[in-house]
Structure 1
C-alpha cells in the first residue's frame, strides 16, 4: 500500500515521553528560558516549525525553542500533562481523556479543519458498501483520538454502536501496516494519513466525516506554564494566527513548506490544504461554539462509558493572559 520511504517518513511512531526533555517545576519568579512544543505532521504549528516563526518571535527574550514530534494527540497530551512539553495541538477527543485522567493542562486556543479530511477506509475489493456493513468487523482507530469520535458517530448514524464492531486500538503507523496486510477490515483516520492512503488504487473511501462530525481541533498548554507564563502563551497564539493567515494567502508556498518540514509529498499536501472548508487562518482562543461542542462531546462520551467521569470543560479553559 505504501512505499517504504513514505511509511518511514510519514508514519513513524511518536516520540516516546521517556526521551522528552525532563519535566520542570514552573515558577512565576523564574524567567522562561526554554519553550517546548509538541507537534504533529500537519497544520499551523508544523508550518511555524518550518519557518522558525516562533524562534524569531522569542529570540530577543533569550527563550530557546525545542520540538518533540508525535503521531497522534493522546501521547502528546500525556507529555503535556506531565510537564514534559509546554504546548501542542490535538483533535477533539484526546483532551477529554487527559482531563478525566487529571492531566495538568488547559485549552488555550482552537482552529477548525475540514470534515472531508477524515474518513473510514476499506479495501477496494471488500464487500462493504455502507458503514452498517461493518457490523462484527475489525475497525482500527486510535483510542482517544478524533477518529474515535468520528467512528462512534458514523456507527450511530448507521444504527450501530461501538460495541457492534471489533475495535482495534492502533496508532496511525500500526493501522497503516495492518490495513496493508489485511489484518483489519476498515481504518478510521485523518489527514495527512488519509490523503496518503486514498491515493492507493486498492483503497476505497467508505465515508468521510462530512455531515457526521465537525472538525474542531485545539491547542493546549501545560497548566503550570499557562499560569506562570500567560504573556508567552498569548504571544504563541498571536504568532500562530499570523503564520496561518499568511499561509492561507499563499497556498502554493504553503504546500512546498509543509512538504519540506513533514516529508509528506507536495501532491498529498495540496490535497489536504484544499479540502472543502479547510483554512489555516482561523487560529483563536476558545469561543462559545468550540466550548459548547467540546462539552457536548464530553457528555456523550461519559454517557457511552468511554470516559470514566463527567467533565466540566470550562474548568480547564485558559482565561487569558496574566494581568
Structure 2
C-alpha cells in the first residue's frame, strides 16, 4: 500500500494531542493546568517547559532561577510535569510545550514518527540510574532467565533501550520476551501484584522500588560495554528553536550551571526538590548521587551515540524506518560556545 507522509503526520499529531490530554487528566493538578494551557496567551511570551520528576529541569523549577534569567528577555515560564519521555514528546508534537527533557529513545521514536523537534542539548548518561529489576524472591537470576517472561516497561523510554541491549547481551531477541507496555505508575502496580516478572525502569521510580519494595537489580548499564551508555536530551520544537535561539541558549546555560551545582550539593538538592515532587528526601538524594550532570551542545560524538540507539531500535523493528539523527540536531554556534565557556 502506498504511504501518505502528510496523512500519517496528521494522524500522529491528532493521536499526540489526544494522548496529551489523557495524560493531563491522569496526573492531577499539574496535568489539569497543562490541559487548559495549550497555547501562548495573547500578548504574552511564555516558555512552556515539560519536565519529569528526575532531571535538572525539576531542579531548575524548584530553584526559580530560570524565571529570573528569562525575564530580561521578556519571557515568563510555565511548567508541566510528565510521567515519561514519550508523553512529553507527544505534547511537544501537539505544540503544547516548547521545551523538554527525555532519555535517548523517546526522540528516536518521535523522529521516526515525523515529530517536528530538534535536539538542543545533552546530558551524560548514568550507569546506575535505570535498571531491570525483579522481586527479591524472584526465581530470575540471570538475563537468560528472561526468556518467555513478562517484562513491564514504558514503550519508547530509556528503559526500553536498556532492555534491548541487555537482551542482546544474553543472546536473546526482543521476541524472546513478553513486553508489557505500561507507564511507570501502572507498571509498579503490575510489578507489586506479580502480574509481570520483571520491570525495566529509571529513577526516581527505580530508587522508590528499591526502597519500598526491596526490589532486586537483575542488571543495569554496568553489565554493558561503556560505549553502550546513552545520553539524555533536551529538545525543543523546531519552530521555537529557530525563532527564539536566545531563549533556548539561556535555558541551556542555566541548566549547565544548575547541574554543576547539583554535582557538588546532592543533599541540598534533595532537600530542595523532594517536597516539590512529593518524594522522600533520602530517596531523592539516592538517585541524585547516581547521575553526573553537565549540559553540553550536541557534538558529533553525541549525535553518533544517539544514532547507535536509533539503529538498534530499527534493527529490532520497533521503529518503522531508519532515521538520521543529525537531521534533527539544532545548529547554533553561539549557544555551543556559551556552554563550553562554563
Matched residue, 1:131: 143
Residue in 2 that maps onto 1:194: 206
Deviation at 1:32, TM superposition (A): 6.6
Is residue 110 of structure 2 the alignment partner of residue 110 of structure 1? no
Q: TM-score, normalised by structure 1?
A: 0.89
Cα gap change, 1:287/1:130 in structure 2, threshold over 3 Å: closer, same or farther? same
Q: In the alignment, does 2:176 pair up with 1:164?
A: yes
**Conservation of the 8 A alpha-carbon contact between 1:40 and 1:89:** yes
Match of 2:283 in 1: 268
Other-structure match for 1:96: 108
SS in 2 for 1:65: strand
SS in 1 for 2:122: strand
**Distance verdict in 2 for CA 1:59–1:41, change over 3 Å:** same
What secondary structure does 1:168 align onto? strand
Specify the SS of the correspondent of 1:15. Answer: helix
Which SS does the other structure have where 1:199 is aligned? helix
Match of 1:15 in 2: 31
Deviation, 1:214, is 0.8
Q: More deviation in 231-240 or 296-305?
A: 296-305
Residue aligning to 1:5: none
Instruction: For structure 2, list consecutive stretches of 5 or more residues without a partner in the other structure.
Output: 1-25, 336-342
Tell me by how many angstroms 1:239 deviates. 1.1
Preserved contact between residue 85 and residue 101 of structure 2 (Cα < 8 Å): yes
1:70 paired with 2:82, answer yes
Q: Distance in 1 between matches of 2:279 and 2:90?
A: 26
1:255 aligns with 2:259: no
Residue 141 (structure 1) shift = 0.6
Match of 1:243 among 258, 271, 287: 258
Please point out which of 229, 232, 256 is paired with 1:217.
Answer: 232
CA contact (8 A) 1:70 1:76 kept: yes
Secondary structure of the residue that 2:309 maps to in structure 1? helix
Per-residue displacement from partner, 1:155-182 (whole Å, max 9, x unpaired)?
A: 1101111110110001000000001111
Q: After the TM superposition, which parts of structure 1 deviate over 4 Å for at least 4 consecutive aligned residues?
A: 11-14
Higher relative contact order (CA 8 A, sep 6+): 1
Total equivalences in the alignment: 306
* CA distance, structure 1, for counterparts of residue 99 and residue 276 of structure 2: 19
- Corresponding residue number in structure 2 for 1:294: 306
Select the structure that is richer in helix. Answer: 2
**CA RMSD between the two structures:** 2.3
Distance 2:308 2:274 in 1: 35
In 1: Cα distance, 2:32 partner to 2:127 partner: 29
State the TM-score, normalizing by the size of structure 2.
0.84
Deviations 1:211-230 (A, max 9, x none): 32414100000111011001
Paired with 2:105 and 2:73, the residues of 1 have a C-alpha distance of 35
Question: Residue 17 of structure 1 contacts residue 79 of structure 1 at CA under 8 Å; is this kept in 2?
Answer: no
Q: List alignment gaps of at least 5 residues for structure 1.
A: 1-10
* Residue 22 (structure 1) shift: 2.3
